[in-house]
Amino acid sequence: MDEFKRYAVYYAPAPGPFAEFSAHWLGWDAFEGVELPHPVVEGLPLPISEITATPRKYGFHGTLKPPFPLTGTRAELMSDLETFASAHTPVVLEGLTLTRIGGFLALTPTGDLSALETLAGEVVATLDPHRAQPSETELARRRAAGLSARQEALLSQWGYPYVMEEFKFHLTLTGKLTEVQAEATATALTPVITPLLPRPFEIKDLCLFGEAEDGRFHLLHRYTLSG
């Protein structure tokens, strides 16, 4: 039996200062599969462990194809992902900036996003034959957020409402915060993380993640965009 209950295709930074800080910030190294101590960041409104509790289990990432239960075999998924990556070129964007999205903070890309949006849409569509249908419980959870008619259609077709033209690439840094908490967190985090942000921001590979039975996500393999 496969040891992972869902799979996802993410962007994750290559090893280096940016990846190291981000993993410590969340407290979870998805590549090594270990918990990490949080860094010292002065001026935060709450302990980092509370600020990052929600995104921690996923590891630091940007979603390209959202988590899905697998139909078929993991080997078949990996083979198709490798073929896909070998036929596509890296995506280069201007950089990343700290942004408030609703009630949480994330890093979002700057510059022309069309190549990234195209890549994400093709990943979703090409690998969709590997996606088993979501449970009724999962569908109900998605619908509870209040979906538009188009998002409902995307949920029915692709198993997730925020794909294709609803896709917004982001690297989540916090769970939900109040406006005051988000502002204080951004003020404290900006001078620490800004020097580490890549410029330009390049997506050079696709990362296959797997969700273990405990809900933690693990980075299983990188596939170089070599087309």
What digits encode the pLDDT tens for the residues 76-110? 999 999 999 999 999 999 999 999 998 999 999 99
d(CA 189, CA 110): 19
In this predicted structure, the answer to whether residue 1 has a pLDDT above a threshold of 60 is no
Architecture per CATH, domain 4-224, reads as Alpha-Beta Complex (3.90)
User: pLDDT at position 46, please?
Assistant: 97
Q: Tell me what pLDDT residue 135 has.
A: 87
| Over residues 215-222, mean pLDDT | 97
How does pLDDT run across 123-176, given as a tens digit for each residue?
Answer: 999 999 999 998 888 889 999 888 999 999 999 999 999 999 999 999 999 999
Residue tagged 């693990």 (tokens): 218
Rg of the chain over Cα atoms, rounded to whole angstroms, equals: 17
Extents of the domains making up the chain: 4-224
Task: Give the whole-angstrom CA distance, residue 101 versus residue 104.
Answer: 5
